[in-house]
Structure 1
Amino acid sequence: MKFGCHLSIKQGYIGAAKQAVAMNASAFQYFPKNPRSLGIKNFSKEDTERCKIFCKANGLISVSHSPYPSHLVPHSQQKRQNVIVSLLNDLEIADACGSVGVVVHFGKPLNQADPLKSYQLMIQMLDDILQQWDGEAKLLIENNANVPGSMGTTLEELVQVRTLSQYPEKIGFCFDTCHAFASGLWTGKNWQEVLDKGLAIGYFEELEVIHFNNSKYPTRLGKDRHAPIFDGGFIKEDQFEQLIRTPQLQDIPFILETPKEECPHEQEIQQLREKWGDVE
């Protein structure tokens, strides 16, 4: 199993990669730049190249996460343009680091009464970005954590958005376990149903990363509050085990975004390795 966590780039991209290896992680996630800004980063090509070479030499998988203001349904034309330029910058950095892609949030609807307009805007925005992108890194769309029935909470939506894009080969998916639990997509008791549905519509063929998080709240409440995997959450170990023992997920990196002040990520990765590290 490939377990890792989100790491800081204060010591550069190569610094994050070295920290991952020091933690006995086999994957890591990072913000390519300031996580609270859509500004463009003029990054060091030497740093990204060293990161790429180091990851390849150590069998390390990396994935980038776009800054918080990035999502695919911006509510103004200026925000839309800013997000497009920012995501292209994120893709360039991720590609230079040898990362599989850039995770981006689905977004919220412009108008609850007319969700179709939001989907149309999202698909057009994806096309505007991806027609300008020729690298290997993909945009990885993450499932939302809102209440059941909200935009971005079903596998069908994610697959349909990808299908309707002119550049589906440049789009993949990120499955967040806390988001899925919060939205009722995965209640902890219906993994086989989620798996069967995802396989039938081709979702798991395009899955590149799992955000591996427990939930501080019960399922179907739409609350996105992460908890440690083994303590303080409503998703139980046996429910996580069903997911982990799924053959289709054996090569997918599981990235912790759990609160490290409650359980340090190095300790949590060790716990994961002891319990599930040899799952095949």
Structure 2
Amino acid sequence: MFVIGSHLSISKGYLYMGQEASSIGANTFQFFSRNPRGGQVRAFDEADMKALVAYMEEHNFGRLLAHAPYTLNACAAKPDLREFAKNSMREDLERMEYIPGNMYNFHPGSHVKQGMDQGIEYIIDCLNEVMFPGMKTTVLLEAMAGKGTEVGSKFEELARIIDGVKLKEYLGVCVDTCHIHEGGYDIVNNLEGVLDEFDSIVGIDRLHAIHLNDSKNPIGAHKDRHEKIGEGHIGIDAIARIVTHPKLTNLPFYLETPNELDGYAKEIAMLRSIVDNA
């Protein structure tokens, strides 16, 4: 089953997001766990979450992806910001237990001139504090574009974080096509080589999700500028190779392109057509 969805707003509730996903031809979706630019969280509503779980089962949805806010920086220089990251992630993961079997994605963070080693150490410390035995959610490190002092733009950095986490059986990676393209990985001309490199460094079994985006910038730009599918420097031919690659077809794809719902619907239909005709 080809699993494809887009980024939806949680403002109207969990069940509403499921219904909205269906309306645009999606069979999964991504949502921010809380205000992406702040940290305020929606009031807890167990009944609404259970209604979403039932809806997903009824409509044969793939795994959902909750996205931590952009303000979360697990390797910030200031202790209070690191504490905010831990508290937010801990609460988010506790809530995710009510929609079990899904995923929680976060940007590893920016070390803000403390150095990569210190940044990675702080991220490991955060994960070791917030993850717990028996959890029903897979936590994903997102591969980044490498702007500023971002951690996670190189596969080796992701592998180092995973190696340091005690409960690594609950840990995986989300690859963003725009990010790794702008991070310097040639997914346009050498997708197979990039996947082999990921497998040798991180392990392909750690890859649980794909953020499917085109890029406004050429390879290696390190700027993180998403573009609509087929309208950027990655291009529709390379995107088609990604969604039909045998090592990736079992993964859910989540669109983060600069679109409204009608734009997402068109992209989903186009990508389904590519997969169906492959």
Deviation for aligned residue 1:210? 0.5
Aligned match of 1:246: 245
1:66 aligns with 2:68: yes
CA-to-aligned-CA distance 1:173-209 (integer Å, 9 cap, x gap): 1100000011112352121111111222343201121
Letter in 1 for 2:97: D
Aligned match of 1:108: 110
Deviation for aligned residue 1:150? 6.2
Deviation for aligned residue 1:257? 0.3
- CA distance in 1 between counterparts of 2:217 and 2:202 reads 30
- CA distance in 1 between counterparts of 2:23 and 2:42 reads 27
Equivalent pair of 1:29/1:63 in contact (CA under 8 Å): yes
Equivalent pair of 1:156/1:201 in contact (CA under 8 Å): yes
In structure 2, relative to structure 1, the CA distance for the partners of 1:36 and 1:194 (3 Å cut) is same
Please report the TM-score for the alignment, with normalisation by the length of structure 1: 0.91
Aligned match of 1:82: 84
Tell me the secondary structure at the aligned position of residue 248 of structure 1: coil
Moved over 3 A (4+): 39-42, 147-151
1:93 aligns with 2:95: yes
Aligned match of 2:121: 120
Aligned match of 2:6: 5
- CA distance in 2 between counterparts of 1:201 and 1:126 reads 20
Report 1:138-149 matches (<5 A).
138-146=138-146
- CA distance in 1 between counterparts of 2:252 and 2:87 reads 27
Tell me the secondary structure at the aligned position of residue 208 of structure 1: strand
Q: What percentage of residue pairs aligned between the two structures are identical?
A: 28
In structure 2, relative to structure 1, the CA distance for the partners of 1:148 and 1:204 (3 Å cut) is farther
Aligned match of 2:176: 176
Aligned match of 1:34: 35
Aligned match of 2:236: 237
Aligned match of 1:130: 131
Aligned match of 2:264: 265
Equivalent pair of 1:155/1:203 in contact (CA under 8 Å): no
Equivalent pair of 1:181/1:187 in contact (CA under 8 Å): yes
Q: Flag structure 2 segments of 5+ consecutive residues without an equivalent.
A: none
Q: Flag structure 1 segments of 5+ consecutive residues without an equivalent.
A: none
Equivalent pair of 1:66/1:104 in contact (CA under 8 Å): yes
Q: Indicate the RMSD between aligned Cα atoms, in angstroms.
A: 2.2
Letter in 2 for 1:216: K
Give the number of equivalent residue pairs. Answer: 276
Letter in 2 for 1:28: F
Equivalent pair of 2:143/2:154 in contact (CA under 8 Å): yes
